[in-house]
Amino acid sequence: MRSWITDAPIDPTAVLDEVGSPADGAVLLFLGTVREENEGRAVSGMRYDAYVAMAEQVLGEIATEAAQQLGTERVAVVHRIGDLAIGDVSVALAVSAPHREPVFIAGRYLIEEIKRRLPVWKHEYYVEGESRWLAGTVPPGHA
């Protein structure tokens, strides 16, 4: 199991290499990428800010929970911070298990919990020149 925050470009193959085993017949890789449009506005790029020390801790907790659902320790998840361009990978996760059902469940759990709990924020830059912090989610139990 491995989880980390990085300010360097993410290599999906390296994330995939963290999981897999001769015992596994199912490997899932999910990538989140920066989209060229949001709410009808043309996006030029994105800056991710994070409370890095806490994000590393929370991402580790999420990975541990996902491993419990997966039934294996073969979980790898990374979130990028800093300045990203359209198409850049902002988050990558890989999981593997003997059969397919738990990899989809655990993969879905990882990305949904990242969105709910990881202390990371997006500043979106628009083609016409403006920028703004994107409205986020209040973590559960803190409304």
Partner 1 sequence: MRIRVLLFALYRDLAGGRSELQLDVRDGSDAGAAIAELRAQSERFALLPERPVVAVNREYAGLDAVLRDGDELALLPPVAGG
Residue 135 in contact with partner 1, rule: CB under 8 A: yes
Residue 45 in contact with partner 1, rule: CB under 8 A: no
Handedness of CA 85, 36, 121, 12 (dihedral sign): negative
Residue 130: strand, helix, or coil:
coil
Strands 131-133 and 41-50: unpaired
Least Å distance, CB 3 to partner 1, is: 13
Pick the closest to residue 47 from 131, 113, 112 (CA basis).
Answer: 131
Main-chain phi, psi angles of 116, to 5 degrees: -80, -35
129: tokens are 């020149």
122: tokens are 């997006």
Residue 48 in contact with partner 1, rule: CB under 8 A: yes
Total number of residues that touch partner 1 (CB under 8 A): 32
Least Å distance, CB 18 to partner 1, is: 19
Main-chain phi, psi angles of 123, to 5 degrees: -110, 115
According to CB under 8 A, which one of 6, 21, 57, 68 is a site residue for partner 1? 57
Residue 8 in contact with partner 1, rule: CB under 8 A: no
Residue 123 in contact with partner 1, rule: CB under 8 A: yes
Residue 90 in contact with partner 1, rule: CB under 8 A: yes
According to CB under 8 A, which one of 38, 122, 125, 126 is a site residue for partner 1? 122
In whole angstroms, give the CA distance from residue 16 to residue 51: 26
Residue 27 in contact with partner 1, rule: CB under 8 A: no
Contacts to partner 1 by CB under 8 A: 32, 48-51, 53-55, 57, 79, 90-91, 111, 114-123, 133-139, 141-142
